[in-house]
């Protein structure tokens, strides 16, 4: 089964994959009914298609939504329960069928991660499924496919990768190995995302971003994430907003919340950003880093705050109630309370 979405059908990449599969004499079916922020019922429809067509391997080509939905289809086809039964950490007993992933955005890293994020559409929240069982068997990483992304998608997915690297680096489950990947991802994104945004066909810049996305994925899949993602999952599930844009808006505010609990680590990031921090107080360094992140967003055309993404103050209680249950909070350097999450949302309005 080839899993993709309606946007990818318009690019040359899906055709190339189909030709290659056909040339190998393999029968296949294409399943493409997947929305951004993939929904639980779409996963179940995919399973139905998989079983009706007697498939035995999944090839996913697309962004994070497609890859996560493909993981969901794989899990359910082997374990025969509704996708919501697998929410949480290590809830999958039987391995899924072989999964080959071809990522077409430079951000999600679902092609190497042990995460699958599926929208519980009825209850309007994103379920985090975390298990070694959802790490794909093969990831085919090729920057050429990034050239079909528009500027907004390039910016959002690039900041998603930057958020993965930030959160993995300051995670309380980080290690010397994940630090290497996280810091190199931050450096590569900081020095190449603007080029990639302004020159979509610059294959050198696209290659650096693809590599950074992979590095950030290897870092966060092992060190896990933090409050940027718990808050973004809640927002994306409740209001169906783009994941990367949510991260871009929230990251500076989460740095503000976390800074004192990981100040040496944030200083190392400030150095990678070439900020002149020598002689500055902790507060000045924090403000300089936050300011730089906001300017970086703006240079990529992201000017939003939550209120102009149609988030209302009345939503904040519901959003923080959902976000506090997200497993990503467990590795945030400062354990948040529900009230802390409310404050971060309010400051991002």
Closest contact distance (angstroms) between CB of 243 and Fe ion is 6
Name residues contacting Fe ion, limited to 261-300 (CB under 5 A).
none
Applying CB under 5 A, the site for Fe ion has a residue count of 1
Closest contact distance (angstroms) between CB of 298 and Fe ion is 21
Q: How many residues does the chain have?
A: 349
With tokens 């009345």, the residue in question is 314
Q: Nearer to Fe ion by C-beta: 67 or 145? A: 67
Q: Nearer to Fe ion by C-beta: 4 or 105? A: 105
- Only one of the segments 156-164, 179-187, 233-241, 273-281 lies at the binding site for Fe ion (rule: CB under 5 A); that segment is 156-164
Q: Are 65 and 36 in contact (CB under 8 A)?
A: yes
Q: Nearer to Fe ion by C-beta: 164 or 286? A: 164
Distances in Å between the Cα of 79 and the Cα atoms of 1, 49, 85, 110, 112 are: 18, 16, 10, 21, 21
Q: Nearer to Fe ion by C-beta: 149 or 285? A: 149
- Only one of the segments 52-60, 157-165, 175-183, 259-267 lies at the binding site for Fe ion (rule: CB under 5 A); that segment is 157-165
Q: Is 87 in the site for Fe ion (CB under 5 A)?
A: no
Closest contact distance (angstroms) between CB of 22 and Fe ion is 34
Q: At 12, list the tokens.
A: 């040359």
Closest contact distance (angstroms) between CB of 48 and Fe ion is 28
Q: Nearer to Fe ion by C-beta: 55 or 139? A: 139
**Residues contacting residue 265 through CB under 8 Å, at least 6 positions apart:** 169, 170, 333
Closest contact distance (angstroms) between CB of 156 and Fe ion is 10
Q: Nearer to Fe ion by C-beta: 17 or 66? A: 66
Closest contact distance (angstroms) between CB of 232 and Fe ion is 7
What's the angle, vertex CA 97, arms to CA 91 and CA 103, rounded to 5? Answer: 90
Closest contact distance (angstroms) between CB of 160 and Fe ion is 4
Q: Nearer to Fe ion by C-beta: 160 or 245? A: 160
Q: At 68, list the tokens.
A: 């996560």
Q: Are 202 and 306 in contact (CB under 8 A)?
A: no
Q: At 191, list the tokens.
A: 């020095």
Q: Are 130 and 114 in contact (CB under 8 A)?
A: yes
Binding mask 105-144 for Fe ion (x = CB under 5 A): ----------------------------------------
**Residues contacting residue 158 through CB under 8 Å, at least 6 positions apart:** 106, 107, 189, 193, 196, 197, 209, 244, 300
Closest contact distance (angstroms) between CB of 108 and Fe ion is 6
- Only one of the segments 13-21, 158-166, 172-180, 336-344 lies at the binding site for Fe ion (rule: CB under 5 A); that segment is 158-166
Distances in Å between the Cα of 2 and the Cα atoms of 33, 50, 102, 139 are: 12, 10, 11, 14
Helix, strand, coil abundance in the chain, percent, nearest 5:
60, 10, 30
- Distance CA(9)–CA(19), nearest Å, equals 14
- Only one of the segments 4-12, 81-89, 95-103, 153-161 lies at the binding site for Fe ion (rule: CB under 5 A); that segment is 153-161
Q: Nearer to Fe ion by C-beta: 58 or 117? A: 117
> Of 306, 312, 291, 308, whose CA–CA distance to 348 is shortest?
306
Q: Is 326 in the site for Fe ion (CB under 5 A)?
A: no
Q: Nearer to Fe ion by C-beta: 77 or 104? A: 104
Closest contact distance (angstroms) between CB of 237 and Fe ion is 13
Q: Is the dihedral of CA 200, 202, 205, 209 positive or negative?
A: positive
With tokens 């718990």, the residue in question is 230
Q: Is 160 in the site for Fe ion (CB under 5 A)?
A: yes
**Which residue's CB atom is positioned nearest to Fe ion?**
160
Contact residues for Fe ion (CB under 5 A)?
160
């Amino acid at each position: 089964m080839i899993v993709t979405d309606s946007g990818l059908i318009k690019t040359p990449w899906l055709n190339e994959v189909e030709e290659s599969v056909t040339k190998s004499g393999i029968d296949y079916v294409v399943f493409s009914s997947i929305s951004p922020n993939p929904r639980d019922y779409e996963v179940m429809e995919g399973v139905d298609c998989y079983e009706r067509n007697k498939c035995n391997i999944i090839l996913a080509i697309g962004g994070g939504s497609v890859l996560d939905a493909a993981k969901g289809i794989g899990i359910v086809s082997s374990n025969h329960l509704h996708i919501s039964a697998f929410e949480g950490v290590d809830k999958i007993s039987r391995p899924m069928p072989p999964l080959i992933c071809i990522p077409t955005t430079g951000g999600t890293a679902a092609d190497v991660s042990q995460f699958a994020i599926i929208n519980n559409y009825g209850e309007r929240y994103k379920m985090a499924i975390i298990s070694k069982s959802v790490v794909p068997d093969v990831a085919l990483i090729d920057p050429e496919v990034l050239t079909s992304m528009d500027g907004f998608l390039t910016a959002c997915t690039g900041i998603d990768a930057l958020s993965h690297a930030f959160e993995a680096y300051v995670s309380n489950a980080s290690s010397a190995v994940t630090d290497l990947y996280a810091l190199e991802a931050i450096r590569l994104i900081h020095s190449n995302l603007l080029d990639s945004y302004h020159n979509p066909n610059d294959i050198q810049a696209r290659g650096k971003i693809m590599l950074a996305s992979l590095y950030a994925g290897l870092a966060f899949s092992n060190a896990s994430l933090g409050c940027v993602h718990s808050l973004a999952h809640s927002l994306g599930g409740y209001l169906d907003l783009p994941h990367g844009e949510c991260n871009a808006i929230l990251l500076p505010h989460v740095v503000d919340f976390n800074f004192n609990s990981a100040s040496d680590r944030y200083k190392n990031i400030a150095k990678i950003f070439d900020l002149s921090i020598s002689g500055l107080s902790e507060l000045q360094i924090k403000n300089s880093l936050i300011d730089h992140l906001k300017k970086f967003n703006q240079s990529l055309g992201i000017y939003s705050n939550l209120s102009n993404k149609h988030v209302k103050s009345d939503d904040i209680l519901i959003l923080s109630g959902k976000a506090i249950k997200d497993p990503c909070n467990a590795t945030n350097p400062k354990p948040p309370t529900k009230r802390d999450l409310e404050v971060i949302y309010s400051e991002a309005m």
